[in-house]
Structure 1
């Protein structure tokens, strides 16, 4: 390879694989400010999601990276929604049970994988598509029958699915995942693709740093 060709090759390689320039995020384009600020959510990041949602599954890596770098003292909460579709109830209940049983931190990522794994001997994939499957999954994780029943009772008494659907409606959430940050900003435009993961992490960090 002659020197001229080598220089051109090095230049093109740098363009393709060189360090990524920090993105500039714009309000109204990459995120939006809510009309009404909810002071009770200051210091919190609410991820509105579903274990049934493919984009939520894809965004999990970005959210995981964000959690490691988010401002000190900030809390990330996973809030499941159904948008009123009964076929999503079992997925939302799974998340609520994990929270009620204090297993969300331990099993959140694994539960997403379970939701995408084929079931042996079955034509469908999602083990969480009905409450029988949800119960079996949690018992496999070491949850006792009595713990499961008590947690389920607590969730039903608190009407948490209804509560979180109202929350999504309040913030005009039209899809998942959507993030409500500090009760003031909303981020909702996740795109699939490994190159976008880092960008989305940086977007969440940027919005979380806003006053």
Structure 2
């Protein structure tokens, strides 16, 4: 059985507080996946991450999660294969204090224009090459090796707007009922649940996306 990394939500440092924050489709006997098993229909409709108007695929992940590292190649393939009008987003899960630096790293690298070239490299360095990348200083060292100005990276990572974004992310993740990574949420309506492999998670994502496209993405 494929299992996601599951962590108990804890109060975050830097004043980040836990906040507690569609309609169900009719059963389809021919469907390869079952609502309530491989995926769940979320009770609160249209809780999307963005307002772009496109069908939205969100991976809730963390650089501290080895399963996310293992799933990352599948995410890369998903991004390339998703139909026109569909976009893939990443949301770093700040499940506890030890994972908040990874969320900060994600947003700082995105602001500095380094995300695309460092995303998979971070996973490789941490889990394959066994670099110690946990504290903000260690994380800053990693990005400095990939061309970032170390002081600028730390400043961006600790900026008030990043604090606010992480707080919003946590609230949305809780609204979606996400308690493990990697988790996929499609259009704020469907969340992956009991999948047995990364291949199944990727295939489920494509199926849910097509379902949204067929329904007219309402």
User: Normalising by structure 2, what TM-score?
Assistant: 0.72
Larger Rg: 1
Q: Considering fraction of residues, name the structure with more helix.
A: 1
Name the counterpart of 1:210. 211
The answer to whether residue 102 in structure 2 is matched with residue 82 in structure 1 is: no
Out of 135, 139, 151, the position equivalent to 1:134 is 139
In 1, are the aligned partners of 2:183 and 2:191 still within 8 Å (CA)? Answer: yes
CA distance in 2, matches of 1:188, 1:105: 27
Give the deviation of 1:160 after TM superposition. 2.1
Name the counterpart of 1:181. 186
Name the counterpart of 2:82. 70
In 2, are the aligned partners of 1:43 and 1:182 still within 8 Å (CA)? Answer: yes
Q: Deviations over 1:130-164 (max 9, x none)?
A: 01111111111111245324422446555222221
Name the counterpart of 1:104. 115
Unaligned runs of 5+ in 1: 1-22, 119-124
Give the deviation of 1:70 after TM superposition. 0.9
Number of matched residues?
178
The answer to whether residue 166 in structure 2 is matched with residue 161 in structure 1 is: yes
Unaligned runs of 5+ in 2: 1-30, 213-218
Give the deviation of 1:200 after TM superposition. 2.5
CA distance in 2, matches of 1:190, 1:106: 29
User: Normalising by structure 1, what TM-score?
Assistant: 0.75
Alignment of 1:105-124 (within 5 A): 105-118=116-129
CA distance in 2, matches of 1:39, 1:107: 29
